[in-house]
Each structure stands twice: as structure tokens, then as C-alpha cells.
């Protein structure tokens, strides 16, 4: 019997699942951070939702912890890296709210199309305003779906039943899969010109933050209506308010905001806007599914059985040789996705040096985890990464070589068009990228990075530096590597912020610049 500490309200059936397995379920709600540090002592499992912060200090205090369970999808409040380092499994309930979220997106779309909240507010205030709140039909309109993960696919399926034409932007979905869904894939800048309605279903990452901003909104089809029930920050709310005020965008329906709770926004005073306080998962069914799912996952973890929704691996299950490279492998996968501008058709992972003699299967899973996490709405784990690869037709090949020419260990990832290699350097085993697209460089991975390929001639560093300086961007580190053959060179820079689209465009149009890629980790 294990002690399971539950710090937030959980569906009763979820508590019963753990109790029926013979475990002591200790429910302690509304704990302070100090109270949590005391309560976690002696617990083998911790079950939370979104309000409990599971920090490294909490994990250190819970010396007997086997598993942390998050009854929901997001893991922003769990230090998963620290849990992995301490050998604690982290599990979530990634499928618990997808149907509720998809239905809420459809509800927002209908409310937006027919001005339902505005008409309701007017009527209960004593005003009969039939002509003022004339709406539009969904039938025959083009729906642009930004992100065709599970929720995006469910929304597309439901929109099809309304007679809508479906287009989508998702560089991680193959044309074959899109065709089976009745969806036409388009680049994002073409999608916003085609769409009458746009619905967002992406994760919030360094790559997607501010994705739909002022420049893109200036290009949309006049009268576009936008729905965001995914994550705040993907859509620039100030730019959206300006676009609605100018008439470029007809209206918007938002369930999520860049900062939450959000009780004040330039969007709130606009008549064409519908807002809800992050209700996508707020259904009785979703909460019940989350509770039951997390209860089942915790029971499996405590029994030492296979856990389908594990998002990390217990460090004890990974060899001492391999364990330090898990973070690097994930960074390489995410960065390759950024260089590739989406999902490659083929992925080769090569291990050189001492790693070649170890069991590196978990490192390949880490590469896949990073690759998919860069652009899919679905939570990606070591467990479901192979399934995602199979669904998208990704061909994976592993190569090993017992010798590495310049490094003790080297991990290299390649697609058909791009390549990255990394290692751990120094006594602190700090990650380094040492090759990008067959150019030798040495630069630490960073949250915001820029890769520039250019003609190998004097003055090119100045061109890049001037463009970034003009945009107010500081360069934190930089590496330059010439090509082994040919007359090109590569710059890899880390910066203090994401490079804006307009700055990238300036660089792309500069003489001698061959291509530019942003990388976010």
C-alpha cells in the first residue's frame, strides 16, 4: 500500500480508483507551498491539477516519490526535468479534455457567427435588436484550421458537418493524412487569405508565440473571424483589437489569453468579440475523465507496470552513460524541426563514441519528442512519440559508430535537407551544438536562436548584426562556420528574444544571405 497525496479537487471516481487498488488516498486541499513541503514527506505519489507547483524543492522533500500525476494536459506547473533527474515519473491525462475543447471551439465559432452573447445581453437589458445583430452562416464558408492535432481534427470533422470548406496549416501533417480528412493544406500566409473563419489549435512554444501578429493580420481576407481556444500568446491580442477596430477582421472569439486570469483587455470593449474565461476543459465529463485517467496511471506507476501516459522516464531506468544526453537529444529534435520548417519525411539519428555501445533507444525517443513538440498541439511523451511518427509516416533510422573523431560522444540528427550534431562539454557536461548543416560551429543551445547561411565573403557578419541591432535585438552568443566544400558560411546566433518576422524578411532580402531559420528551444 502506498500513500497518495492529492492536493486539489479530483473527481470522486478518480479517488475511488486509487483507493480500490489498496492505496491510502490522503486529500489535503489548499496547501501553502510550505505546507506542501511538509505534506509530501512519506508520500509515494502526488496528484495535482493546475494550482499546485511541483518544484525541485518539492521533489527533493518527497524522497519516497515514485510518480507525480497531473489530472489534465498542461505540465507548466511541474518541473519535469527535475523529476526525471530524481527518478520520479510524471504522468498526465492528455486525452481527457480533447472532445470538450473541440466542442467549445465550435460553440465559440457559432456564437461569433450569430452574435449570440451580444444579442442575449441586449435582450436581458430590455432591448429588442433583431437588425443590429445580423450574423452569417457557417455553410459554404472556408474554415482555416491552424494546427491539425487531435483537437484541430475534431473541429475540422464537426465543421465539415456544417458544410464548411476545410483548409489547414500544419507542417507536421502529411498531405495524405490531410486528404483523408477532407482538408487542403496551405502555407499560413495563404490560409489567412482563403479563410472566412480561422480557428487556432497549436501549443504555445517559442515558435508559435506571436505567430498570428500584426503583419499576418494585415494580410487576411477582409471580414475574417478568428477563434482561439488553444493557448494564449499565439495570437497578438493588441494587434487583433486594432484589426477589428479597423474593420480588417470582423470579429474574434477567445477562450484563452496571453496572461491569465485576464479581466482587462482592449478586446473587451469591441462589439464583435466573444470571450470566455478558459472554459475549454470545463465540462463535467472532461473533469471526470481526467480524474479517472490519472487515478489509473498512478496505480500502474506504483505497481511498476507500463504507464501509457508517462511524459518522462524514471532516471533509474536509463544508464548513467545515456541519461545526461536526454535533454540534448530533445533539443536536437526540436531544432531540426525548426530548420526543416516542419516534419521531415526521413530522420536519421547517429550515435558516435561511447554512446554507440549503450542502449540509445530512449535517446531516439527524446529526439522524436523534441521533433513533435516543436509544432503539434498534442502532448508528446516518450510513450506516444513512436505512434505520432507512425501516423505521420516518418521513416526513422539509427546508426552507431564506436569512434568519434573529435568528441568522446556525439549525437547527430539528419533529415533530407538539414543536419545537427551535439555533445556535452566540460566538467559540467553542458550541451553544445557542434555542427549545423555540415558547418562546424560550437554554440550552446538557447531559447531563441537564429541560423543564417550566407556567401562566404567579408562583411556578412556586419549585415546580420546591423539588422538585429536595428530591431533592438541583443546577440548573446555567436558561432561562424565555413562550409567544408563550396563558398558558403553559416552563422548560429543566440539572442535575447524571438526575432520578429519583419527582421527575418530584412535578412532574407539582404544581398549575400541565402537562407534564414529561427530556432526556439
Residues 267 and 381 in one domain: no
Burial of 495 (0-12, 13-18, 19+ CB in 10 A): buried
pLDDT-based confidence at residue 379 (cuts at 50, 70, 90): low
Question: What is the percentage of the chain residues whose pLDDT exceeds 70?
Answer: 97
Distance CA 370, CA 521 (A): 9
Active-site residue, 260 included: yes
Strand order across the beta sheet in which 448-455 lies: 475-482, 488-495, 448-455, 513-520
Contact yes or no for 421/433 (Cβ under 8 A)? yes
DSSP reduced 3-state for 357: helix
Active-site residue, 397 included: no
Residues 172 and 210 in one domain: yes
The pLDDT assigned to 293 comes to: 95
Residues 110 and 92 in one domain: no
Which of the following is catalytic: 20, 260, 285, 430? 260
pLDDT at 375 over 80: no
Q: What is the pLDDT of residues 199-244, one digit of tens each?
A: 999 988 777 889 999 999 999 999 999 999 998 999 999 999 999 9
Q: Give the side-chain half-sphere CA count within 13 A for 265.
A: 26
Give this prediction's pTM. 0.72
Which of the following is catalytic: 70, 201, 225, 231? 231
Distance CA 25, CA 291 (A): 13
Burial of 33 (0-12, 13-18, 19+ CB in 10 A): exposed
Active-site residue, 278 included: yes
Closest CA to 168 of 196, 187, 140: 187
Contact yes or no for 497/473 (Cβ under 8 A)? yes
Task: Decide if 280 is inside a domain.
Answer: no
Distance CA 181, CA 197 (A): 18
Q: Where does 65-149 have alpha helices with state H?
A: 80-85, 98-114, 116-124
Residues 483 and 432 in one domain: no
C-alpha cell at 357: 555501445
Q: What is the pLDDT of residues 387-423, one digit of tens each?
A: 788 878 888 999 888 776 778 899 999 998 999 999 9
Which of the following is catalytic: 201, 204, 225, 278? 278
**Beta strand pairing status for 142-146 and 165-169?**
parallel
Residue 273 burial (CB count, 10 A): 22
Count of domains observed in the chain:
4
pLDDT at 464 over 60: yes
The pLDDT assigned to 394 comes to: 87
Q: Which domain holds residue 78?
A: 3-96+285-317
Distance CA 100, CA 482 (A): 52
Phi and psi (nearest 5°) for 250? -75, -30
pLDDT-based confidence at residue 494 (cuts at 50, 70, 90): very high
Residues 407 and 471 in one domain: no
Residues 384 and 473 in one domain: no
Residues 290 and 251 in one domain: no
Amino acid at each position: 500500500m502506498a500513500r497518495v497525496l492529492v492536493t486539489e479537487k479530483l473527481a470522486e471516481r478518480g479517488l475511488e480508483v486509487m483507493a480500490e487498488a489498496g492505496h491510502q488516498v490522503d486529500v489535503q486541499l489548499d496547501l501553502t507551498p510550505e505546507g506542501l513541503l511538509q505534506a509530501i514527506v512519506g508520500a509515494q505519489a502526488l496528484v495535482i491539477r493546475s494550482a499546485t507547483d511541483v518544484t525541485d524543492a518539492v521533489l527533493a522533500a518527497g524522497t519516497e516519490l515514485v510518480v507525480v500525476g497531473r489530472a489534465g494536459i498542461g505540465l507548466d506547473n511541474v518541473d519535469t526535468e527535475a523529476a526525471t533527474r530524481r527518478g520520479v515519473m510524471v504522468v498526465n491525462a492528455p486525452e481527457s479534455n480533447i472532445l470538450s475543447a473541440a466542442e467549445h471551439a465550435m460553440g465559440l465559432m457559432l456564437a461569433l457567427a450569430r452574435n449570440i452573447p451580444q444579442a442575449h445581453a441586449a435582450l436581458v437589458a430590455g432591448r429588442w435588436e433583431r437588425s443590429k445583430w445580423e450574423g452569417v452562416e457557417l455553410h459554404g464558408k472556408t474554415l482555416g484550421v491552424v494546427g491539425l492535432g487531435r483537437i484541430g481534427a475534431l473541429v475540422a470533422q464537426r465543421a465539415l458537418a456544417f458544410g464548411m470548406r476545410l483548409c489547414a496549416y500544419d507542417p507536421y501533417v502529411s498531405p495524405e493524412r490531410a486528404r483523408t480528412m477532407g482538408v487542403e493544406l496551405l502555407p499560413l500566409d495563404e490560409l489567412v487569405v482563403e479563410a472566412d473563419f480561422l480557428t487556432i489549435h497549436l501549443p504555445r512554444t517559442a515558435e508559435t508565440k506571436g505567430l498570428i501578429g500584426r503583419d499576418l493580420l494585415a494580410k487576411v481576407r477582409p471580414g475574417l473571424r478568428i477563434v482561439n481556444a488553444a493557448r494564449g500568446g499565439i495570437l497578438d491580442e493588441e494587434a487583433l483589437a486594432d484589426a477589428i477596430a479597423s474593420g480588417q477582421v470582423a470579429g474574434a472569439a477567445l477562450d484563452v489569453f496571453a496572461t491569465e486570469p485576464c479581466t482587462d483587455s482592449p478586446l473587451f470593449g469591441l462589439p464583435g468579440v466573444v470571450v470566455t474565461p478558459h472554459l475549454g476543459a470545463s465540462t463535467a465529463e472532461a473533469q471526470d475523465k481526467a480524474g479517472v485517467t490519472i487515478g489509473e496511471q498512478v496505480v500502474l506507476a506504483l505497481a511498476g507496470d507500463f504507464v501509457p501516459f508517462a511524459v518522462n522516464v524514471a532516471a533509474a531506468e536509463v544508464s548513467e552513460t545515456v541519461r545526461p544526453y536526454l535533454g540534448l537529444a530533445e533539443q536536437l529534435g526540436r531544432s531540426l524541426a525548426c530548420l526543416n520548417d516542419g516534419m521531415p519525411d526521413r530522420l536519421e539519428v547517429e550515435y558516435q563514441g561511447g554512446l554507440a555501445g549503450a542502449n540509445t533507444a530512449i535517446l531516439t525517443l527524446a529526439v522524436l519528442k523534441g521533433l513533435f513538440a516543436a509544432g503539434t498541439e498534442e502532448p508528446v511523451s516518450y510513450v506516444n512519440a513512436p505512434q505520432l511518427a507512425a501516423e505521420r509516416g516518418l521513416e526513422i533510422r539509427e546508426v552507431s559508430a564506436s569512434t568519434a573523431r573529435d568528441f568522446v560522444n556525439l549525437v547527430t540528427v539528419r533529415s533530407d535537407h538539414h543536419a545537427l550534431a551535439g555533445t556535452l562539454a566540460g566538467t559540467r557536461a553542458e550541451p553544445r551544438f557542434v555542427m549545423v548543416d555540415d558547418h562546424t560551429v560550437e554554440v550552446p543551445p538557447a531559447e531563441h536562436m537564429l541560423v543564417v547561411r550566407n556567401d562566404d565573403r567579408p562583411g556578412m557578419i556586419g549585415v546580420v548584426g546591423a539588422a538585429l541591432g536595428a530591431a533592438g535585438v541583443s546577440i548573446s552568443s555567436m558561432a561562424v562556420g565555413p562550409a567544408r566544400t563550396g563558398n558558403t558560411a553559416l552563422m548560429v546566433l543566440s539572442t535575447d528574444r524571438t526575432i520578429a518576422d519583419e527582421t527575418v524578411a530584412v535578412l532574407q532580402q539582404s544581398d549575400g544571405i541565402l537562407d534564414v531559420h529561427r530556432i526556439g528551444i
